[in-house]
Amino acid sequence: MGQASQDSGAQVNQTSQASGAPAVDTIKMYQDIVDRAHAEVKGVREVYKWLSFALGLIISTGIAVIGFLTYSNIHDMRTDVDKEREEIRKQMKQEVDLMNAKAKQDYGVLANDLTSSVQKNVHDVEGKVNKRIDDEFNKDNIQNLVKINAQEHIDKVADNLIGHQIQNKIAPQIALVGDKLSRLDQEANFLMISNAAEGGDRVSYEQLIQWSNDKTYPMRVRAQRAIEAITSKANTDYLVAGDRGYPWKPGTDPSKLGFEELKKEYKTAGSASNRSALVSYMYSRDNILKKNMLEFLLEVICTDNNLDVSASAGTLLGFLSSHSFENRLDCKAIKDWYATHGAEIK
């Protein structure tokens, strides 16, 4: 086709040169040549298109055929594989289930055997341990050790518990009881002193006087009342017994005894009743100086350990001095009176 174009061009050149025709014919000729070339190119293109279509159709058909055949074979193969895999899975499941059942059965038998064996061994060991414990506890040293440890533990726990109870409960109660006991002791002591003073004990009487003057003493008022009762009794006139109440020694003539001898007799007279009777006898004697008798009576009032003897001497002192004393047991007041009026008595 290229060779034909060259031949046509050569012919055109030759014609132009030979004939010398105008340029228009030449252009037309060239146009015809181009159109013919285009037609030939188009024809070639159509051939190529048809060939391409045919080739594509052949290739597509081949691919389709091959794909169909391949798909059928793969599908069948997959189906067979799935069936075979399902069959294998079923067989494996059956074998696993059988193995599990066998294992459970073997495990149960083994567990029973082990349980029986363990129980038997535990029973045997327990028996041996109990026997060993009994044998050890039958030994004196073990018993003593257990006793000592138990006692120490009990003491420790008991000490803590007792200490806690004492601190929280018992201590306040002890304090309360102690306060009550203190008051009871104080009350008992006061009653003992008061009763003794009312019975004539000088020491107890002086204790009551001390309490009555103590503003801090809780039973001060009661002490004052006890003193009032004792002094009221002491201010009652005592009978003068004369010599009838005194137990003279056999063969003794009291009328022949002088004043100093009678004072010695007073020191050894013994009981309060004997001393009181002897003081009354000495007062009845008319051969004793009144001044000496007054001083003796003042000594008895202030020193005799029995208030009844002192009160009796106070009664006689009132008779002898012709003076009424407010309290015949008040030694200080009587001494003060004597210091003022003693010289008047002969």
Q: Tens digits of per-residue pLDDT, 181-225?
A: 888 888 999 999 999 999 889 999 999 999 999 999 999 999 999
7 CB-near residues (< 8 Å, 6+ apart) = none
Q: Taking the C-alpha atoms of 27, 28, 34 and 37 in order, what is their torsion angle to the nearest 10 degrees?
A: -140
Rounded-to-integer distance, Cα 290 and Cα 47, Å: 197
Per-residue confidence (pLDDT) for residue 80, from 0 to 100: 76
Give the DSSP per-residue string, 271-287.
SHHHHHHHHHHHHH-SS
Give the residue from 311, 312, 308 showing the smallest Cα distance to 330.
311
Sort 274 into a burial class: Cβ within 10 Å, 0-12 / 13-18 / 19+. middle
259 CB-near residues (< 8 Å, 6+ apart) = 282, 288, 289, 292, 296
- Identify the bridge partners of residue 201 per DSSP, sorted by sequence position: 306
Angle between helices 307-321 and 220-234 (to 10 degrees): 50
Which token pair is 94? Answer: 């059956």
Per-residue pLDDT at 62 exceeds 80: no
Digit-coded pLDDT (tens) for 20-42: 445 567 777 767 787 887 787 77
- Tell me the average pLDDT across 3-18: 44
Per-residue confidence (pLDDT) for residue 279, from 0 to 100: 93
Rounded-to-integer distance, Cα 135 and Cα 190, Å: 68
Cα three-residue angle 34-36-42, rounded to 5 degrees: 100
Instruction: Compute CA 79 distance to the chain's CA centroid, rounded to the nearest angstrom.
Output: 82
- Tell me the average pLDDT across 316-343: 89
Contact at 8 Å (CB) between 276 and 320? no
- Tell me the average pLDDT across 257-282: 93
- Identify the bridge partners of residue 306 per DSSP, sorted by sequence position: 201
Per-residue pLDDT at 123 exceeds 90: no
User: For residue 79, which amino acid is it?
Assistant: T
Task: Work out the pLDDT band at 282, boundaries 50, 70, 90.
Answer: very high
Q: Which single residue is written with the structure tokens 């008061």?
A: 194
Helix (H, G, I), strand (E, B) or coil at 247: coil
**E strand spans, 17-175:** none
Give the residue from 164, 234, 245 showing the smallest Cα distance to 202.
234
Cα three-residue angle 234-238-239, rounded to 5 degrees: 170
111 CB-near residues (< 8 Å, 6+ apart) = none
Per-residue confidence (pLDDT) for residue 192, from 0 to 100: 95
Rounded-to-integer distance, Cα 24 and Cα 21, Å: 8
Per-residue pLDDT at 15 exceeds 50: no
Rounded-to-integer distance, Cα 212 and Cα 218, Å: 10
pLDDT, greater one: 205 or 63:
205
pLDDT, greater one: 325 or 298:
298
Give the residue from 203, 202, 222 showing the smallest Cα distance to 211.
222
Task: Work out the pLDDT band at 9, boundaries 50, 70, 90.
Answer: very low
Digit-coded pLDDT (tens) for 163-193: 777 677 777 877 877 888 888 888 999 999 9
The sign one gets for the Cα dihedral 282, 283, 286, 287 is positive
